[in-house]
Structure 1
Amino acid sequence: MDERQRLTLVKAVGQAIASRRVSVGLSQEKIAETLGISREAVSRMETGVAVPSVVRLAELAEIFQCGIEDLLTEASNRKVDQARKILELLDELADEQRELLMSVIKQLVEGLSKK
């Protein structure tokens, strides 16, 4: 993994942490208090300035009531992880909505493949 890829991954993990925090309705201050760290430390993790340790990821996953892998796979650019995320998103839709979305995705892929 080169430096650019590493930075992209760290930033994406930070965005996943921020997204989970917002989705459960917690402030950076509350996360900091729970973890016994400063709000600035939480901010640095969320912006990708600081890399959370595996232990810290486990603590965050517990707070967010998700798996550690959820924080990592949301950030992943691997096809299998992206497919898993799409599957989760599709699962929330009714049949008609999924069919419409699949049609749009097919058109997008066809259009992007020609370029």
Structure 2
Amino acid sequence: MGKQISTRRKALQWSQGQLAEKVALAPDTISRFERGVTVPSLSKLQELAEVLNLRISDLFSEGSSSPSDQVETVLAWMRPLEPEERAFVLDLVKRTCDYMQQKRGLACAHEAPGSASATK
């Protein structure tokens, strides 16, 4: 559970202090959770999950390779970006995916809804 808290916190680019402030705990308490020294109460676990935009079950899972979980991670990274920066990242991801598909001999994926290319 601690690794999941740490991973998600870092994906959101929050310090332990910032997460602690959001859930009314001391930063050293977050550190103890992340290191597995102690575990949060059920009510605090629910609060952590909500603040981290996760389900409680996500906190108990090992890293996930499911596309929906990966999308959530990328979404957390992109949230603090300005709209122009998010557009740049999306374009970069699209170009990278197209390149990888072409390299493997696959047809390019359809344009993402709302992308600049899709609206032309």
Q: TM-score, normalised by structure 2?
A: 0.53
Name the counterpart of 1:4. none
Name the counterpart of 2:116. none
Name the counterpart of 1:82. none
Moved over 4 A (4+): 89-92, 94-97
Alpha-carbon RMSD: 2.8
| Residue 41 (structure 2) pairs with residue 59 (structure 1) | no
Structure 2 gaps of 5+ residues are 72-96, 105-120
Larger radius of gyration: 2
Structure 1 gaps of 5+ residues are 1-12, 76-84, 101-115
Q: Which has the higher helix share?
A: 1
Which structure 2 residues correspond to residues 1-115 of structure 1 after superposition, within 5 A?
13-74=1-62, 85-88=64-67
Q: TM-score, normalised by structure 1?
A: 0.55
User: SS of 1:61's equivalent?
Assistant: helix
Deviation at 1:58, TM superposition (A): 1.0
Query: What CA deviation, in whole Å up to 9, does each residue of 1:39-71 have, x standing for no partner?
Result: 111100000001122211211111111111111
Give the fraction of aligned pairs with identical amino acids, expressed as a percent. Answer: 36
The residue type paired with residue 36 of structure 1 is A
Deviation at 1:88, TM superposition (A): 3.1
